[in-house]
Copies of this chain bind each other. A is one copy, B any other.
Amino acid sequence: MIDRLIKKIEQCGAPIVVGLDPTYEMIPESMRAECFERHGSTLRAAATMLTEYNMRVIDAVYDLVPAVKPQIAMYERFGPEGMWAYAETTLYAAEKGLIVIGDVKRGDIASTAEAYASHIAGVTLENREYETWAEDAVTLNPYMGGDSVEPFLKVCAERDKGVFILVKTSNPGSADIQDQVLRDSGLMVYEHAANLVSKWGADLVGNCGYSKVGAVVGATFAVQGAALRKRMPHTFFLVPGYGAQGASGKDLRGFFDKDGRGCIINSSRGIIAAWRKGRRFSDRNIGAAAREAVHKMRLDLEGVLEGWLPT
């Protein structure tokens, strides 16, 4: 997964992952009406909107970016019907050749984590394998420790799959636990988590020098991100918080390694809801606006990397 991701980033010249986090409010009136007409006033209608909206975005950007990151909460919100939309979205993106990072942030005791690991392992029934969600990687929460991650590491060792484990998240509340200083090591909790993530991924480093076990590091914390880059030389970063959450390219220099590698930056609303900003676009230009937003983001990042991005 990680070698494939890095190769695709270089092919695209864009360390960009498009966050597929559609909200009901984001869906154009015309698309809503059409789905309600087809499915009545149901959650199925709402779920269908999400899938159709995502398809427009994916169709527009799949040749420009290496990956998409659907945030499962946006689908789970609509119950089981929403989960179908999540599954359809991951499948459609995978069929377009995109790497799919499921932003699920799961974490539980070992026997339960094994069940969650079906996100990237599928499930076997009576000797037949089923793919449940078409994800190449998922995000995980480390609070419950090593045995909660272990079943996923096993899958990563056996298959071309990966995980990104929360280290320092992009939200202000991340300070509450992650920024507490530990007595013995003098590290903050997130730095301690970073060390654990490095250790968990040590045996899963690919040809590219990065491990299948990556970390989530928020773009909103530039100094911490740069320090984590040094602390975790073999850990690839999934970086949320660009754009709508406030970070821009200049905050991100330190997240990359000296070769301009080492991370992929997520933007969600800034790309998928770009059609709603400015006067040039309408609900007929969801794709065109998304495409333009990707180009802009690519330029922003190129500026920061001063030509380091392979083009």
Residues on B with C-beta less than 8 A from A201 are none
Complex CA–CA separation, A2 to B148 (angstroms): 29
Judge whether B171 and A73 touch: CB under 8 Å. no
- A74 touches B (CB below 8 Å): yes
Complex CA–CA separation, A109 to B168 (angstroms): 12
**Cβ contacts A147-161/B at 8 Å (1 or 0 each):** 111100000000000
Selected from B80, B87, B109, B182, the residue in CB contact (under 8 A) with A171 is B109
Complex CA–CA separation, A110 to B80 (angstroms): 22
Complex CA–CA separation, A63 to B79 (angstroms): 28
Known: A73-B108, A142-B143, A144-B174. 14 other contacts (CB 8 A): A73-B115, A74-B115, A76-B119, A79-B132, A80-B83, A80-B86, A80-B87, A109-B170, A141-B143, A142-B177, A144-B177, A145-B169, A148-B173, A176-B196
Residues on B with C-beta less than 8 A from A171 are 109-110, 144-145, 147-148
Complex CA–CA separation, A21 to B105 (angstroms): 20
- A258 touches B (CB below 8 Å): no
Complex CA–CA separation, A203 to B237 (angstroms): 38
Give min CB distance, A162 to chain B, whole Å.
19
A residues near B (Cβ < 8 Å) are: 21, 23-24, 36, 41, 43, 46, 71, 73-74, 76-80, 82-84, 86-87, 105-110, 112-113, 115-116, 118-119, 123, 125-126, 128, 130, 132-133, 141-150, 166, 169-178, 180-184, 186, 189, 192-193, 196, 240, 245
Copies in the complex: 2
Selected from B113, B181, B240, the residue in CB contact (under 8 A) with A183 is B181
Complex CA–CA separation, A71 to B175 (angstroms): 29
14 contacts between A and B (CB under 8 A): A21-B112, A24-B125, A43-B125, A46-B125, A76-B118, A76-B119, A79-B123, A80-B80, A83-B83, A105-B107, A144-B171, A145-B174, A148-B171, A182-B182
Complex CA–CA separation, A146 to B106 (angstroms): 18
Interface hub of A46, A74, A77, A123 (most chain B Cβ within 10 A): A77
Judge whether B192 and A173 touch: CB under 8 Å. no
Given A141-B141, A196-B176: A126 touches B80 (CB 8 Å cut-off): no
Residues on B with C-beta less than 8 A from A193 are 177
Complex CA–CA separation, A175 to B142 (angstroms): 11
- The residue on B at minimum CB distance from A150 is B173
Q: Which 6 pairs from chain A and chain B are nearest by CB?
A: A145-B173, A145-B176, A79-B132, A147-B173, A73-B115, A109-B171
Complex CA–CA separation, A83 to B123 (angstroms): 14
- The residue on B at minimum CB distance from A73 is B115
Residues on B with C-beta less than 8 A from A123 are 43, 46, 77-79
Residues on B with C-beta less than 8 A from A113 are 73
Residues on B with C-beta less than 8 A from A23 are 115
Residues on B with C-beta less than 8 A from A24 are 125
Residues on B with C-beta less than 8 A from A46 are 123, 125
Residues on B with C-beta less than 8 A from A74 are 112, 115
